[in-house]
Every structure is written in C-alpha cells, then in structure tokens.
Amino acid sequence: MPKQPSLFSSVVNCKCPRCRTGKVFKGSVLNPFEFSKTNDNCPHCGLKFEHETGFFWAAMYISYGFSTAVMIIFGVIAINADWSFKKILYILIPIVLVLTPFLFRYSRILLLYIFSPNRHFDKEYL
C-alpha cells in the first residue's frame, strides 16, 4: 500500500484534499497564461473541486489577507529603511506581480482544504 502523503506537502504541491494525489491546477504556476486554470474534478479520485457555483469567490478574501500581510511586512521594512516613495513603488510593484500567481493558487488551495465538504483524506483513494 502506498505511503499516505502528508497534509503539508499536499497543500504546498496543490494536490486534491481527498486523495492528496491528483493535481488541482492544470498548468504551472510559472506560466502566466495557465497559472489560474483549475481542473473541474480531481484526475485521480474524481472529487469535484468547485462543488457549488461561485465556491472559489471566497478565495478572494483569503488572497486579500495574504496581500495585506505582504503589504504590512513590506511597509514595515520600507519605513524602517527610510526609503523614498518612488523606491517603494519600484520594488513593490514587481513583488506583487511575481507573487500574484502564488497568492491566487494558495488562496484556492486553502479554501479547498478548509471549507470543502469532502476535504478529509480518504485512504480508499490512494
């Protein structure tokens, strides 16, 4: 019998919450045109990811929390370093652009793992 994947590695690797094997997203996080494409069902166990219309809209709130945390951390660093407004913008805009795909994906993954009714790992689907 295969070894049970850990919860942490499954979240980090964006795997299905039920089988922890199937991929939630179709493309790579590094591809700017495919980072947001989500599979409708788990390719391994068949779990429907968006179990009701608009389920992933709630991920915007998680993403907002992530973005706020990034801005607060960066703001504290910028204030303590006494940077000019122009320097802050030149550094912050690329950081936000680079982090957007990651924030998008992990907000959806956390939503799936926290609020999905079928989120509990089931050894039957290994």
In this prediction, residues 96-107 reach a mean pLDDT of 91
Task: Report pLDDT for 51.
Answer: 77
Task: Report pLDDT for 118.
Answer: 62
pLDDT in tens, 48-86: 888 788 888 889 999 999 999 998 999 899 889 988 989
Residue 119 predicted with pLDDT over 80: no
In this prediction, residues 17-39 reach a mean pLDDT of 89
Task: Report pLDDT for 1.
Answer: 57
In this prediction, residues 5-12 reach a mean pLDDT of 90
Q: What pTM, to 2 d.p., does this model score?
A: 0.82
Q: Which residue has the tokens 């709130």?
A: 61
> In terms of residues, how long is the chain?
126
Rounded-to-integer distance, Cα 103 and Cα 54, Å: 18
Task: Report pLDDT for 125.
Answer: 67
Which residues have CB under 8 Å from 99's CB, separation 6+? 70
Torsion sign across C-alpha atoms 76, 102, 30, 4? positive
